[in-house]
């Protein structure tokens, strides 16, 4: 007996499930189903341990960049621990960097722990009890909380002394800051949201993709292009014009750092007619099935398999597009009356406040921004390097890698929209991630979603007594236990 033929939809579903196992381990975005509290709340009635006090601005006798540190060995020799997570290709790059660092700075031994099972949330727990590595990766949405809690060394003094850092990587220390503008992390690279498109599909219907963030598609032009790319036969869709990750809503809803807070920064003001209208328009893309194939989380399989002509995602998924797909990148469409922006998702590294070797830790962290390390990160084809000169380096512009034309990615760094820096930042990140998927599918009313988002973000601002006039540089105290306990009850719905 011949096996029963499987429908195209069933085959697609199977492909998505198969692709999910790969991308779940490869993505730089993490799936979170619950809104995290401002800080880790206790589950029992106990007095939380005191938070460590970060070194405000560590002093240094001389600029300690790795490029200036090659020379006679220094004593005594020290050993530091470095932790990071990410896809295998990124961890291999960090291993290569550690080997290069060992040659350049032999008096500092780095013990790397490169494991995709590590997470920023687990690191938070370890830092609270005084444990952790000397240099570590931190998710961008956690930088504010970690800095405010005193978990990290301040890097301002070291950065100010480093002229080379300002020249070739001016945005590295300013990508993410604390409540008072404290610089406690370095950005060694970033991914950006953009439109990945199948050049052969676009050419077949006469659609020209824009190559500059200064003259992108308007939303109306983008919708028209997506509709022209759809192919249907026998009342079913054979090829869709678009797939998009839920987090695309960040560049739709947030056109700046704090423009959705009130003047005093005490309350969230996401619920506006304009944002409601934009979300409603996005639901039309999916529910009509005239443009977009609805997908959950981050799946590149439909685009890689030729079932979609365009895919909105961060650029780090490019490595998992089939080599036979002639793909390129284009800027995100510009919403009416606004310029086209993209979310910058930085790979941030920091030195925990409890590090016993902050000088040696800084030497290694700074090495991640030197030319050899930046070239190694560029070769992963995952990140846009932070070092400006590397953007013109063959390691980044390798014509054998996709996309062939990287001009939009080089321009993206100047058009980056970063997540906000205040106690509601983590809530913003979670709410505009996978939790927005039901809204985009049309299963939840946009107005109700935005009202709920405002309530949750405002709650976190009030728990920390946040305002525009807050003493932000002194924003380093544990949340009173009573508020933490009430927040925990509310989070559980009790």
β-strand partners of 416: 342
| Domain map (residue ranges) of the chain | 8-35+193-344+420-483, 66-190+346-405
Which pair of structure tokens corresponds to residue 43? 């589950």
Burial bucket for residue 193 (CB in 10 Å: 0-12, 13-18, 19+) = buried
Give the three-class secondary structure for 60: coil
Which pair of structure tokens corresponds to residue 390? 């590397």
Which of 40-44, 71-75, 347-351, 434-438 has the largest mean confidence? 347-351
Which pair of structure tokens corresponds to residue 255? 């056109």
Per-residue model confidence as pLDDT tens digits over 50-93? 334 444 443 333 434 444 444 444 557 999 999 999 999 999 99
| pLDDT, mean of residues 41-52 | 32
Residue 239 phi, psi dihedral angles, 5° rounding? -145, 130
Distance CA(34)–CA(46), nearest Å, equals 23
DSSP-derived letter for residue 272 is: -
User: Higher model confidence: residue 54 or residue 99?
Assistant: 99
Distance CA(275)–CA(325), nearest Å, equals 35
* pLDDT for residue 467: 85
pLDDT greater than 60 at residue 119: yes
Residue 312 phi, psi dihedral angles, 5° rounding? -90, 120
Residue 402 phi, psi dihedral angles, 5° rounding? -105, 150
**Considering the chain, what is the average pLDDT of its residues?**
81
Per-residue model confidence as pLDDT tens digits over 310-326? 999 998 898 889 989 99
Burial bucket for residue 104 (CB in 10 Å: 0-12, 13-18, 19+) = middle
Give the three-class secondary structure for 244: strand
Residue 415 phi, psi dihedral angles, 5° rounding? -110, 20
Which pair of structure tokens corresponds to residue 330? 């284009």
Per-residue model confidence as pLDDT tens digits over 365-422? 999 999 999 999 999 988 999 999 998 888 888 877 788 888 899 898 888 887 788 8
Per-residue model confidence as pLDDT tens digits over 192-225? 999 999 999 999 999 999 999 999 999 999 999 9
Peptide bond before 76: cis, by omega within 30 degrees of 0? yes
pLDDT greater than 60 at residue 243: yes
Domains 8-35+193-344+420-483 and 66-190+346-405 share a fold: yes
Contact 154, 183 (CB under 8 A): yes
Residue 98: how many CB atoms within 10 A of its CB? 18
Distance CA(54)–CA(140), nearest Å, equals 19
Which pair of structure tokens corresponds to residue 349? 């590294």
Homologous superfamily, domain 8-35+193-344+420-483: Periplasmic binding protein-like II (3.40.190.10)
Which pair of structure tokens corresponds to residue 71? 């020379």
Where would I find the H helices in 289-401? 301-304, 358-367, 371-378
Homologous superfamily, domain 66-190+346-405: Periplasmic binding protein-like II (3.40.190.10)
Distance CA(342)–CA(333), nearest Å, equals 10
Contact 299, 243 (CB under 8 A): yes
Distance CA(429)–CA(453), nearest Å, equals 11
């Amino acid at each position: 007996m011949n096996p029963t033929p499987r429908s195209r939809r069933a085959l697609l579903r199977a492909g998505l499930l198969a692709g999910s196992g790969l991308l779940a381990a490869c993505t730089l975005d993490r799936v979170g189903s619950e809104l995290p509290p401002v800080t880790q709340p206790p589950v029992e009635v106990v007095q939380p341990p005191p938070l460590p006090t970060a070194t405000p601005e560590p002093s240094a006798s001389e600029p300690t960049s790795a490029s200036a540190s090659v020379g006679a060995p220094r004593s005594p020799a020290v050993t530091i621990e470095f932790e990071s997570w990410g896809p295998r290709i990124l961890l291999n790059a960090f291993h290569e960097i550690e080997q290069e660092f060992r040659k350049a700075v032999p008096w500092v031994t780095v013990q790397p722990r490169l494991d995709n099972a590590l997470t920023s949330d687990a690191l938070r727990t370890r830092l609270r009890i005084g444990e952790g590595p000397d240099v570590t990766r931190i998710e961008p949405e956690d930088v504010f909380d970690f800095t405010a809690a005193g978990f990290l060394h301040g890097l301002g003094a070291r950065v100010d002394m480093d002229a080379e850092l300002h020249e070739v990587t001016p945005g590295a220390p300013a990508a993410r800051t604390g409540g008072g503008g404290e610089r406690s992390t370095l950005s060694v690279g970033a991914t950006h949201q953009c439109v990945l498109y199948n050049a052969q599909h676009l050419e077949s219907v006469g659609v020209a993709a824009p190559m500059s963030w200064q003259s992108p598609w308007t939303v109306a032009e983008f919708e028209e292009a997506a509709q022209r790319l759809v192919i249907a036969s026998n009342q079913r869709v054979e090829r869709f014009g678009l797939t998009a990750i839920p987090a695309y809503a960040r560049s739709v809803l947030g056109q700046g750092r704090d423009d959705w807070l009130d003047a005093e920064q005490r309350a969230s003001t996401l619920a506006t007619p304009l944002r409601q209208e934009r979300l409603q328009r996005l639901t039309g893309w999916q529910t009509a099935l005239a443009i977009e194939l609805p997908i959950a989380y981050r799946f590149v399989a439909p685009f890689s398999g030729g079932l979609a002509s365009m895919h909105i995602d961060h650029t780090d998924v490019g490595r998992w597009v089939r080599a036979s797909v002639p793909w390129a990148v284009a800027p995100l469409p510009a919403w009416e009356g606004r310029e086209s922006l993209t979310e910058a998702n930085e790979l941030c590294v920091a030195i925990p406040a409890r590090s016993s070797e902050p000088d040696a830790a800084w030497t290694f962290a700074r090495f991640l921004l030197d030319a050899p390390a930046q070239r190694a990160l560029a070769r992963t084809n995952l990140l846009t390097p932070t070092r400006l000169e590397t953007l013109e380096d063959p390691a980044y512009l390798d014509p054998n890698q996709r996309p062939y034309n990287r001009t939009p990615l080089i321009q993206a760094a100047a058009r980056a929209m970063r997540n906000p820096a205040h106690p509601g930042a983590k809530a913003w990140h979670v709410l505009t991630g996978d939790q927005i998927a039901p809204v985009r599918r049309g299963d939840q009313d946009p107005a109700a979603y935005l009202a709920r988002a405002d309530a949750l973000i405002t709650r976190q601002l009030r728990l920390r007594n946040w305002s525009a006039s807050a003493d932000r540089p002194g924003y380093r105290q544990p949340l009173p236990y009573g508020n933490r306990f009430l927040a925990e009850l509310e989070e559980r719905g009790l």
